[in-house]
Structures are given as C-alpha cells and as structure tokens.
C-alpha cells in the first residue's frame, strides 16, 4: 500500500494551520446555487422532495411542503410529532437534487442553522448519481454534516466498500467531528479534489479524507458525480429515541452554493 500515514498527518497539520486552498490556487467560479429567495415549495427546477422510505433517515418523510418549505429567504426542513391516530408517529422533511444537479470535484458550501431535540438528526450530504461501483456503500456517500440530539459538535463522514464492508475506518480515519456555533447559522462545506475530500466549518478545515493510491474504487469511489441531499430526520438506530416534548425541530438553510475549479 502506497499510502503514507506520516504524509497524511503532515497534510492535515498544514491544512489546519493555514488554509488548504493555499496549495490549490485555481480561482473558483460559482456553477450552481439556491438562495431560497422565492416563498413556497423549494424550486422544482433544482430540487425534488424526499418521499417516505424504509431506512431510518427517510422513514417519516412526507414528500411535500408541510415539512419542507421556503419563507422569507430561508428553507425550513421540519420534524414534528403527529396525532396518535395517524399511521406514523412523526413527519420529517427533506429535499434532493437527484436527476437535476450533480457534480464532481470543486467546492460546496451550505449555510444552515441546526435545531436540537432528543432524536433529532439533521444532515447535509451527497450520494452518487449513477452508482458506478454498485449499490450502497460501494459507490460511496459523502456526509458534509450530521448532527445528533443536543451535541455541541457535528460528524463529517465518508462511506465506501473500504469503510463499511472491509471495515477500514482508521487508516485513514473515515470520519471526524467538529464544533459549530450553536443556535446560529454556520457554513458547512467541503472541497473535493481528485486525491482528497477536505471538509470545513465556517472556513476552517476540520477533516480530510485522502485517496490511497492503488485501492481504486474500493476506497475511492469519489470519482463520479454526486447529488445533494438536505434533510431533517427523527429517530433511528444511531440517533436513538425521539422525545416528543422537544418537538417540533427544524434545520434552516440560508443558501447552497457549488463552485468549480477553473481549468
């Protein structure tokens, strides 16, 4: 294996103490964005509602504007309890750009404010548009931000065959945690290069995941286009039970911006 842990640690230290963009001076141009300036449903030219599924994150998604809506320049993704006579206990909101916008390499930033509740699980993440290496986790997943319950920090994680099937989660580390400004809008983002994923919060590098030469798609399925998902989930194996007394809870999103590296 050609990966050198010492080289990775040196890169991480350099990025944390400077700005890793110092090594990549190409000027960035805005290629796609949503400022959420039009009240109502999220722009259907850019987003689709997430509908209810069978996994924890989308189990309660309503797929409509009751849980995902734009008002006064902010997208709100909401989670709340419903009447006991309903078929489900909760309703949650999510949107995704699947089939409408996807990208490979560049920079993405999302300015968002996180709510807190027992069982709350808001996330900003990306999934592959075409699944070139097979179904999850073989084609990868990029989690820019996941927040649990009342934590004062967020998780930033990658998923792949290398991480989730072969269980190689520590060399290099497959996730990091980082503090954020609680109760305020924060900018969660990452810069995506052919040889690394570089996560950041409010402009400061917080976690780096490097490509290991020779492992190919097993470790690095991040050479294909991914689309964006924004959602506010409730409950599940990871986050735990929901306290209805803490609800409703919501993630508010001011804007989403994607930049490309100029050639």
146 is catalytic: yes
Token pair, residue 149, equals 């319950």
Greatest CA span in the chain, whole angstroms?
A: 58
3-state secondary structure (DSSP) of residue 149: coil
Tokens encoding 21: 């963009």
Active-site residue identified among 22, 109, 146, 161: 146
Distances (CA, A) of 259 to 24, 42, 69, 108, 237: 14, 21, 25, 6, 35
Q: Which of 65, 130, 141, 225 is catalytic?
A: 141
Q: How far is CA 173 from CA 8, 18, 156, in A?
A: 10, 21, 11
Which residues on neighbouring strands pair with residue 199, listed in sequence order?
190, 207
d(CA 123, CA 95): 11
Within 10 angstroms of residue 61's Cβ, the number of other Cβ atoms is 26
**Residue 244 main-chain phi, psi, to 5 deg:** -60, -25
Q: Annotated catalytic, 65? A: no
* Residues labelled as active-site residues: 141, 146
């Amino acid at each position: 294996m050609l990966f050198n842990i010492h080289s990775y640690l040196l890169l991480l230290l350099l990025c944390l103490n400077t700005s890793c963009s110092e090594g990549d001076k190409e000027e960035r141009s805005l290629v796609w964005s949503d400022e959420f300036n039009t009240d109502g449903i999220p722009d259907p030219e850019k987003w689709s509602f997430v509908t209810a599924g069978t996994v924890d994150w989308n189990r309660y998604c309503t797929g409509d504007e009751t849980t995902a809506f734009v008002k006064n320049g902010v997208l709100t993704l909401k989670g709340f309890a419903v009447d006991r006579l309903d078929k489900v206990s909760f309703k949650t909101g999510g949107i995704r750009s699947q089939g409408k916008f996807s990208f490979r390499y560049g920079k993405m930033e999302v300015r968002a404010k996180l709510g807190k509740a027992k069982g709350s699980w808001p996330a900003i993440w990306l999934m592959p548009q075409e699944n070139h290496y097979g179904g999850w986790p073989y084609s990868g997943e990029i989690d820019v931000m996941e927040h649990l319950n009342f934590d004062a920090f967020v998780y930033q994680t990658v998923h792949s065959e290398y991480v989730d099937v072969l269980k190689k989660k520590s060399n290099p580390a497959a996730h990091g945690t980082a503090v954020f400004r609680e109760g305020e809008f924060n900018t969660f983002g990452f810069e995506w290069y052919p040889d690394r994923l570089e996560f950041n919060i409010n402009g400061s590098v917080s976690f780096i995941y490097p490509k290991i030469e020779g492992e190919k798609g097993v470790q690095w399925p991040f050479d294909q286009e991914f689309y964006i998902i924004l959602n506010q989930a409730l409950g599940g194996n990871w986050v735990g039970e929901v306290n209805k007394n803490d609800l409703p809870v919501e993630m508010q999103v001011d804007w989403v911006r994607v930049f490309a590296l100029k050639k």
